[in-house]
Amino acid sequence: MLSLIKKHGQTVLNIILLAALISLSLLHFRSQKKVGYVKNATILSKTNIGANASVQLQTKTGQYQQEINKREQEIKVLRGLLEKDERQEAVKNELSAKQQDFEGYVETLSKNMSQIRADIMRPVYATFNRVIGEFGKEHGYYLILGATPSGNVVYGDPGADITTEVVEYINSKTEIQNADKSGK
- Give the model's pLDDT for residue 31: 55
3-state secondary structure of 38: strand
* pLDDT (average), residues 51-77: 90
**CA 89 → CA 81, 82, 94, 95, 99, distances in Å?**
11, 8, 9, 10, 15
| Interatomic CA distance for residues 171 and 176, integer angstroms | 9
State how far the Cα of 9 lies from the Cα of 2, in Å rounded to an integer: 9
| SS3 of residue 35 by DSSP | strand
What's the mean pLDDT in 72-100? 80
Q: What is the per-residue pLDDT for 3?
A: 53
Query: Biggest alpha carbon distance in the chain?
Result: 124
Mean pLDDT, residues 82-92 taken together: 72
Q: How far apart are CA 148 and CA 38, in angstroms?
A: 9
What is residue 134's predicted lDDT score, i.e. its pLDDT?
A: 92
| CATH numeric code, 33-179 | 3.30.910.20
pLDDT digit string, tens, across residues 120-169? 999 999 999 999 999 999 998 888 888 877 767 777 888 889 999 999 99
Digit-coded pLDDT (tens) for 1-47 = 445 445 555 555 456 644 555 555 544 545 567 888 898 889 989 99
Q: pTM of the full predicted structure?
A: 0.62
Average pLDDT, stretch 88-101? Answer: 84
pLDDT value at position 177? 64
pLDDT at 26: 47
More confident residue, 50 or 8: 50
Confidence of residue 183 (pLDDT cuts 50, 70, 90): low
Q: Is the pLDDT higher at 103 or at 16?
A: 103
Residue ranges covered by each domain of the chain: 1-28, 33-179
Give the pLDDT band of residue 171 (cuts 50, 70, 90): very high
- Spatial distance between the Cα atoms of 37 and 49, rounded to a whole number of angstroms: 20
Q: What is the rounded CA–CA span in Å between residue 36 and residue 14?
A: 39
The residue among 109 and 87 whose pLDDT is bigger is 109
For residues 69-93, give the mean pLDDT: 79
